Chain A
Amino acid sequence: GQNIDQPTEMTATEGAIVQINCTYQTSGFNGLFWYQQHAGEAPTFLSYNVLDGLEEKGRFSSFLSRSKGYSYLLLKELQMKDSASYLCAVQTGGGNKLTFGTGTQLKVEL
């Protein structure tokens, strides 16, 4: 079976740093993705990790440990527009198919 766990909700302050964790137990692993989804909108791609380590892209970084089945998304210099759901997804099997976690709803406050 596939199990992907992430916190349901988080709250952080504008300008701060927040880390959203994701743990997974899946049959097969071809990579881990993070997507951002604003309410009523499409999920948009943020990052991809297939090897252990940190991938940095502007204010967003993502980390992967395959041996621990663990990833996190780090958001720096938080802005109000970062308030959204952040979805952790594991690519399993062929065809780029993604299995998603339930998403973490991030609220950025003043």
Chain B
Amino acid sequence: DTGVSQDPRHKITKRGQNVTFRCDPISEHNRLYWYRQTLGQGPEFLTYFQNEAQLEKSRLLSDRFSAERPKGSFSTLEIQRTEQGDSAMYLCASSFTDSPLHFGNGTRLTVT
């Protein structure tokens, strides 16, 4: 069990650019979640997958955000035309059905 892995750890981008983050969950876990966290706040739910199916998306997830989990293993989160308000820590988590979420260390995005 190597834990949930996220790449990159840090990303600095200019406003208007597209960015993509990757998450590798714990291998046996069938569920994968994306959360966003800003300083002094708790994580906010963005979306989750069961295997390769995206089962729920938050209203926070605008049309500029898209997530995929094509083979039911790793997942990517893409943000198009980034805005300064997108600056945050993007956390990925995975779990078995009905078990606690295990979080990765996150990708810190800074939009300048």
Contacts and interface: CB of A to CB of B under 8 A. Distances in A.
Contact of A98 (B40, B101, B102, B105): B101
Contact of B56 (A43, A95, A101): A95
B62 interface: no
Interface residues of B, number: 25
Interface string B9-51: 0000000000000000000000101000000111111001010
Nearest to A96: B95
9 tightest A-B contacts by CB?
A100-B42, A42-B103, A45-B100, A43-B103, A42-B105, A100-B43, A103-B42, A102-B42, A87-B42
Interface of A: 4, 8, 33, 35, 40-45, 48, 87, 89, 93-103
Interface of B: 4, 31, 33, 40-45, 48, 50, 55-56, 91, 95, 97-106
